A and B are shown apart, each in its own frame.
Chain A
Amino acid sequence: MELIEKMLNGDKRACARLISSVENNSNEAEDIIKTIYPHTGKAHVIGITGPPGAGKSTLTDKLVKLLRKKDLRVGIIAVDPTSPYTGGAILGDRIRMNDLALDPGVFIRSMGTRGYLGGLAKATRNTVKILDAFGCDVVIIETVGVGQSEVDIVKAADTVVMVMVPGLGDDIQSIKAGVMEIGDIFAVNKSDILGAQRTATEINMMLDLSQNLERRPPVVMVTASQNQNIDKLLEEIEKHYIYMKENDILEKRRKLNIKRELVELVEEELRKYVIKETENKGEMESVTLSLYTKETDPFTIRDILLSKIK
């Protein structure tokens, strides 16, 4: 494909077009990924997540400026929620990254969470692949840390930074339940605000209580708006990456993600197939009826449906 050729040669417009293709799950999407797949796997993928208003975009902006000083090429995927009522979205993360817009070594893409058929995680994963193939040394996925789909996205990252801020009240407690475990590094942003130290202490206490941690995540106090301690945060990110590589954890994690992706792809196809099979022939109704009247049981029906595939 001509677009892929152009993209591999560094054409931003072509790269953007390819991203739209995979984002829209167009007919060409699979071919695109097939073609570029050998070019992927080189980038360090960093997930940045945290509650709304934590200052993730500002933090990303400052982090990227440091990465650029090291002459690394950076891709950014900024995910914002789509309105469930209208299907539209306002994607405003670029507001805090305007300085980066003209940097030839930076590519920023805003994404709405949409009602993706194949799942948001799939769309983001494929966008990461394109940016990876495009030559980005680092790909940052920035997303609000609420809801399972967002957690799924950042799981695909090599390093996950959880951004927290003081003054969110009980939120740390609620976040702990689902999202806390995925943080490799914790950043307490707006550390100039009263209560930042307490937030950091709370996180530290919680981490101390957690068992089963391969590596105890560090907690870094930053003030992104004033560019304070961002270098420390980057240092921790780099340390984490090196640690993962040296202890073969990176390979393990990536293999795990590949398996997860594969299972999801197969699941998706299976689901489509079964739905098509049953709905096309009006079979769904009769099967449901036979289950309703207890003539048969769901496991038997499952085996019948699956046998048709073979």
Chain B
Amino acid sequence: MSKLIRVLIAKPGLDGHDRGAKMIARALRDAGMEVIYTGLRQTPEQIVAAAIQEDVDAIGMSILSGAHNHLFPKVIKLLKEQNASDILVIGGGVIPEDDIPELLEAGVGAIFTPGTLTSDIIKYLRENVQ
């Protein structure tokens, strides 16, 4: 049997729109993954601490408020500082196309914009989690 994939789903920042995050959490569960859901208003520090204690394979973050350029790179930086760069980071939400190259450059594995099928995210995780 293949290894059970563990994913942390978090809402960083102050944005309260969690429909997307909840849909992804359910879809990943239904795809046989273990999802650790941490709820709203998470700081990057909290997200990284949770990811490390839970020994997850990936962190999925959703932001619709436009704060992604600040929050995503901060999580990546903290993971690096705590020797946990092997944890895959993916993001979603209202994120302009122009911002994506910079986020990928910073170390985000993939950005999923509105209209993405959950099956595509599941496929991506299965292919990219070591």
Contact = CB atoms under 8 A, between A and B. Distances in A.
B32 A91 contact: no
A88 B32 contact: yes
B128 to A, nearest CB: 18
Contacts of A17: 55
Contacts, number: 82
B54 A109 contact: yes
A87 B50 CA distance: 22
Contacts of A107: 53
Contact of B31 (A88, A94, A102, A109): A88
A95 B36 CA distance: 9
A4 interface: no
A261 to B, nearest CB: 24
B71 to A, nearest CB: 16
Contacts of B105: none
Classify the interface of chain A: helix, strand, loop or mixed: mixed
Given A13-B83, A24-B4, A101-B46, A89 B34 contact: yes
Nearest to B26: A90
B45 A90 contact: no
A98 interface: yes
Interface residues of B, number: 29
Interface string B30-44: 111111111101100
A102 B37 contact: no
Nearest to A94: B38
B25 interface: yes
Contact of B37 (A16, A20, A24, A90): A90
B50 A91 contact: no
B57 to A, nearest CB: 10
Given A24-B4, A88-B29, A98-B46, A109 B38 contact: no
B53 A12 contact: yes
Given A24-B4, A89-B29, A114-B4, A94 B50 contact: yes
A36 B82 CA distance: 24
B32 A90 contact: no
A249 to B, nearest CB: 33
A293 interface: no
B104 interface: no
A173 interface: no
Contact of A87 (B32, B38, B42, B55): B32
A108 B45 CA distance: 15
A300 interface: no
B52 interface: yes
Interface string A105-131: 001111010100000000000000000
Contacts of A89: 29, 34-35
Contacts of A88: 28-35
Interface of A: 12-13, 15-17, 19-20, 24, 82-83, 86-92, 94-95, 98, 101-102, 107-110, 112, 114
Given A91-B36, A92-B36, A98-B39, 18 more contacts: A13-B84, A16-B55, A87-B32, A88-B28, A88-B32, A89-B35, A90-B26, A90-B35, A91-B37, A92-B37, A94-B38, A95-B37, A95-B38, A95-B39, A98-B46, A101-B38, A108-B50, A110-B34
25 contacts: A12-B53, A13-B55, A16-B54, A24-B3, A83-B29, A83-B30, A86-B31, A87-B32, A88-B32, A88-B33, A89-B29, A91-B35, A91-B37, A92-B39, A94-B36, A94-B50, A98-B42, A101-B46, A101-B50, A101-B53, A102-B46, A108-B53, A108-B54, A109-B53, A114-B4
